[in-house]
Structure 1
Amino acid sequence: MDTGGNSLPSQSCPDGPKRRVCYYYDRGIAGVDYGEDHVMVPRRVDMAHALIRSYGLLGDMARLRTRPATADEISSFHDEGYVGLLRDVTPEGFAAGGEMTHAAKGFNVGAFAKDDRSVDNPPIAGLWDYCRRYAGGSLAAARALVSGEAEIAINWSGGLHHACRERASGFCYVNDIVVAIHELLGRFRRVLYVDIDVHHGDGVETAFIDSARVMTVSFHQRTKNFFPDGKGLVEHVGVGDGQYRAVNVPLNEGMDDQGYHGLFRPIMAKVMEVFQPEAIVMQCGGDSLSGDRLGNQNLSIAGHAQCVRFMRSYNLPLLLLGGGGYTVNHVAACWCYETAVAIGKEIDDAIPVHCYDSYYRSQGYKLHYPVAKGIKNDNTDFHVTRTMSIVMRNLTHLEAAPSVGFVDPAGGMSIDAEALFCRAPPREDDDPMERLHRLCGEIDERSFLMELGKRHLDLAKDKDGDQLQPHRDRSEPVKRQRSEKLYCKY
């Protein structure tokens, strides 16, 4: 299988092929709109879900119930005044000017970015509902790990790592990662946070900058004028009780798979040795992939997923979250593949026919698209060696896992595990034709299937009536014909 030219061979998994995995998806997130010209497109999560479903991976995971986070849960990290603003602000109220506009801009909602032309964090319609939905997913996933019902939990709609306690930042309003880590700390003595987004995980690092119980590790692009400015230097190591528990690995443009893992594997192996976490949270931002609209790295999907595979091999409770990723077909394909890695299942490179398959035409309807050729890798041997040397030297200050005076890891927590999961498959995961038949109750099954077969044959003929091949040529989109008998009229 061609995975892009510079991808690494698969790492063997000493933890065995199968793990108990749970998965969160909230279809309400797909309709969130940051604005016509904004690079953040939440529908990419729906694209990933559709791809995961088309590969048959949903049957290998327990499905978490959708329950939006409450204001109190979000306020476990965020300032109450900021939470109130997120709850109350609307596009209309913001546009009207006055007190709401002033308050929103004070929390960096609706304020212009440094270029004075764009708004990173617009006051979008349904903002509070959106925040509650993706934060609720990360909380549910964390609770599944705390309860012991799952070994790996996934929420691709989460991972919004830039949000600060009192302000929005970098397309992120609520920092679901921090809220989820707080939940994990009720059960686990030490939690490791790993960030492979192209941008520095500044919001999470700042939240735990002085904590002995959380170590943050961020691999990110650090070049002139690249967001977030002034953060993520290799010398930034934490303060107070958290000193040397913030690890930053800044990268120049053009990093490929082999160079990335030349840093990732030894650094993470040393982190695991000295910090000895009891749970891992991993932000899997897809903007570090080759061809991203904002990032300038050159990772393949297989190379990106090697990071997930490596952390999975430690056999610890693992929370996988989304994050950045602005070429939507690339990030959806990546998260689908990483879902398969989490499960421990090999999937075919050919993308199945499904509702979003036309988005993958540019990559030949293949999951693994080729990385960009001729991209200069500015990560010189000197830069890589210097970065590795500083990080490893800093980690020697943590030769023993920290003592946190934590006696009862259960912490008196009580979680209703049964309430976390959907024991019956959600109806939106039905086969689309079966769902259509259920909705159109006036058509009996025999007539429905006969009409469906007739429609299939009609599509397999050209305009002259000549029979075509039974499988469509995906190099050209099919012009779909509408049969009035098949569709409900509402």
Structure 2
Amino acid sequence: MRSKDRISYFYDRDVGNVYFGPNHPMKLHRLCMTHHLVLSYDLHKKMEVYRPHKAYPVELAQFHSADYVEFLQRINPDTQHLFPEEMSKFKLGEDCPVFDDMFEFCQIYAGGTIDAARRLNNQLCDIAINWAGGLHHAKKCEASGFCYINDLVLGILELLKYHARVMYIDIDVHHGDGVEEAFYFTDRVMTVSFHKYGNLFFPGSGDVKETGEREGKFYAINVPLKDGIDDTSFTRLFKTIISKVVEIYQPGVIVLQCGADSLAGDRFNLSIDGHAECVRFVKKFGLPLLKLISSVFVLVTGGGGYTKENVARCWTVETGVLLDTELPNEIPDNDYIKYFAPECSLRIPTAHIENFNSKSYLGTIKMQVLEILRCIQHAPSVQMQEVPPDFYIPDFDEDEKNPDERIDQHTQDKQIQGDDEYYEGDNDNDHNMDYV
């Protein structure tokens, strides 16, 4: 029995230099801000910090079509006008623009989630974090909702090599449609998405009646919500449903997408503490003392979130939650402190917007979900075959690698970045650039 969770944290400084373009709501600067808040609270000293490998095209093609991956690799802002048919076919354009270093960005965030899954598979950590990941809308052959490569699907595919059942939880304000679609016909992945639902709200899917098909029937759980849901309503519903799913499904690993666009100021009215309470609750399923199931591994990613200061606050608090570390409300000095001025506090007040989720509505949704879960007789089993090899494991000797053995400490240490890369004085991008 372990006394303390081993946590792997993935970050590449280059993600903060990526720019979707003027007036685009996706501001990747939020990742640098998150990382420097993590540094300022000394959280990196309690984790193993890794720079992820850049996923190879062959790895991305484990889910995405080869022609789509190839097009992402060769297209750039100067040549996109030469390929109008492909741009339309692969849904690149206004929401998903072509920008400088786009493919490298995809390689980095996908590589982080794949590496996180592999470390969990090889029992090198108990929890893995990749805040750059969580781009849940990308489809097999097309970009969607600011997402080009679906790192979550790729990570889950890795986890399925070692685990009979993977549970995916999504608390982004938008439906996790890309992940659900990828596993809609299998019982080996249970997807659970809490999201705003409406025909005019992107992506327009996620009705409670969408439950999977064929072998996947009843293994897609959707919790459609209305504007303004607050901490109390959300966390009560979340805990009730997740507890029941875990009890029935008994996953070996949980993947948690922590989209921060469900915070106050967007369509929902969650506080950072309310959002983080969901992370805290999921983390409890990793405790060996829990009697419902044996301990599970947890992979945590980012997702949506367009008020970059609040995204950074949220994911830093949640990093602390995963480390069982309570963070002082006053933000320590760091390279991005001006973004949190004038109050420089970690918590933010919730907005006072009307909650359109009545008790009767939430009660009905809960009853419908529990009824769906009653249709599952027991946790599905699978005859595990020989585990296929990983396409890439950094610095491992392929002739000596044994997936059943833990890597020695010296080899692990070679993957950990030097402390000097992670201190506040590190000039990892142009801090004067104002992404509005």
Q: TM-score, normalised by structure 2?
A: 0.89
Q: Does 1:303 align with 2:274?
A: yes
Alpha-carbon distance in structure 2 between the residues aligned to 1:196 and 1:355: 29
Q: Does 1:92 align with 2:78?
A: yes
Aligned 8 A contact 1:62 1:422 in 2: no
Q: Which position in structure 1 is the counterpart of 2:283?
A: 312
Aligned 8 A contact 1:162 1:168 in 2: yes
Aligned 8 A contact 2:164 2:381 in 1: no
Q: Does 1:254 align with 2:228?
A: yes
Taking only aligned residues, the RMSD between alpha carbons, in angstroms, comes to 1.8
Single out whichever of 71-80 and 353-362 deviates more from structure 2.
Answer: 353-362
Alpha-carbon distance in structure 1 between the residues aligned to 2:280 and 2:3: 11
Q: Which position in structure 2 is the counterpart of 1:116?
A: none
| CA displacement, residues 45-70 of structure 1 (integer Å, 9 cap, x when unaligned) | 11000000000000000112331000
Selected match of 2:117 from 142, 149, 157: 142
Q: Which position in structure 2 is the counterpart of 1:428?
A: 421
| CA displacement, residues 94-125 of structure 1 (integer Å, 9 cap, x when unaligned) | 1xx33x23212210011xxxxxxxx1100111
- Identify if the C-alpha distance between structure 1 residues 350 and 421 changes in structure 2 by more than 3 Å, giving closer, same or farther: farther
Alpha-carbon distance in structure 2 between the residues aligned to 1:159 and 1:142: 13
- What are the within-5 Å matches in structure 2 for residues 383-462 of structure 1? 383-406=361-384, 414=402, 417=407, 418=411, 422-432=415-425
Alpha-carbon distance in structure 2 between the residues aligned to 1:304 and 1:313: 15
SS in 2 for 1:370: coil
Offset of 1:334 from its aligned partner?
0.3
Aligned 8 A contact 1:140 1:420 in 2: no
Q: Which position in structure 2 is the counterpart of 1:158?
A: 133
Alpha-carbon distance in structure 1 between the residues aligned to 2:152 and 2:373: 24
SS in 2 for 1:215: strand
Selected match of 1:28 from 1, 14, 18: 14
Aligned 8 A contact 1:212 1:404 in 2: no
Aligned 8 A contact 2:96 2:144 in 1: yes
Aligned 8 A contact 2:39 2:424 in 1: no
SS in 2 for 1:193: strand
SS in 1 for 2:224: strand
Q: Which position in structure 2 is the counterpart of 1:81?
A: 67
SS in 1 for 2:244: helix
| CA displacement, residues 466-485 of structure 1 (integer Å, 9 cap, x when unaligned) | xxxxxxxxxxxxxxxxxxxx
Offset of 1:347 from its aligned partner?
1.2
Q: Which position in structure 2 is the counterpart of 1:459?
A: none
Q: Does 1:123 align with 2:98?
A: yes
- The unaligned stretches of length 5 or more in structure 1 are 1-14, 111-118, 437-490
Q: Which stretches of structure 1, 4 residues or longer, exceed 6 Å deviation after superposition?
A: none
| CA displacement, residues 419-474 of structure 1 (integer Å, 9 cap, x when unaligned) | 69633525321351xx69xxxxxxxxxxxxxxxxxxxxxxxxxxxxxxxxxxxxxx
**Aligned length in residues:** 402
Q: Which position in structure 2 is the counterpart of 1:266?
A: 240
Aligned 8 A contact 1:20 1:152 in 2: yes
Alpha-carbon distance in structure 1 between the residues aligned to 2:424 and 2:104: 28
Selected match of 1:340 from 314, 320, 336: 320
Q: Does 1:354 align with 2:334?
A: yes
Q: Which position in structure 2 is the counterpart of 1:369?
A: 348
Q: Which position in structure 1 is the counterpart of 2:145?
A: 170
Q: Which amino acid aligns with 2:122?
A: S
| CA displacement, residues 351-397 of structure 1 (integer Å, 9 cap, x when unaligned) | 011111111126x2111111012x10000122101101100000001
Offset of 1:406 from its aligned partner?
2.5
Q: Which position in structure 2 is the counterpart of 1:40?
A: 26
Q: Which position in structure 1 is the counterpart of 2:251?
A: 277
- Identify if the C-alpha distance between structure 1 residues 53 and 173 changes in structure 2 by more than 3 Å, giving closer, same or farther: same
Alpha-carbon distance in structure 2 between the residues aligned to 1:92 and 1:420: 41
- Identify if the C-alpha distance between structure 1 residues 411 and 106 changes in structure 2 by more than 3 Å, giving closer, same or farther: closer
Alpha-carbon distance in structure 2 between the residues aligned to 1:297 and 1:354: 30
Alpha-carbon distance in structure 2 between the residues aligned to 1:66 and 1:358: 29
Structure label with greater radius of gyration: 1
Q: Which position in structure 1 is the counterpart of 2:292?
A: none
Alpha-carbon distance in structure 1 between the residues aligned to 2:31 and 2:139: 23
Q: Which position in structure 1 is the counterpart of 2:36?
A: 50
Aligned 8 A contact 1:161 1:323 in 2: yes
Alpha-carbon distance in structure 1 between the residues aligned to 2:416 and 2:161: 26
Q: Which position in structure 1 is the counterpart of 2:84?
A: 101
- Identify if the C-alpha distance between structure 1 residues 379 and 284 changes in structure 2 by more than 3 Å, giving closer, same or farther: same
SS in 2 for 1:352: coil
Q: Which amino acid aligns with 1:85?
A: F
- What are the within-5 Å matches in structure 2 for residues 188-199 of structure 1? 188-199=163-174
Offset of 1:412 from its aligned partner?
6.8
Aligned 8 A contact 1:77 1:179 in 2: yes
Aligned 8 A contact 2:9 2:49 in 1: yes
Alpha-carbon distance in structure 2 between the residues aligned to 1:421 and 1:262: 43
Alpha-carbon distance in structure 2 between the residues aligned to 1:255 and 1:21: 31
Aligned 8 A contact 2:36 2:424 in 1: no
Aligned 8 A contact 2:163 2:253 in 1: yes
| CA displacement, residues 195-226 of structure 1 (integer Å, 9 cap, x when unaligned) | 00000000000000011110000000013411
Alpha-carbon distance in structure 2 between the residues aligned to 1:308 and 1:270: 16
Aligned 8 A contact 2:167 2:189 in 1: yes
Alpha-carbon distance in structure 1 between the residues aligned to 2:210 and 2:44: 40
Alpha-carbon distance in structure 2 between the residues aligned to 1:179 and 1:407: 19
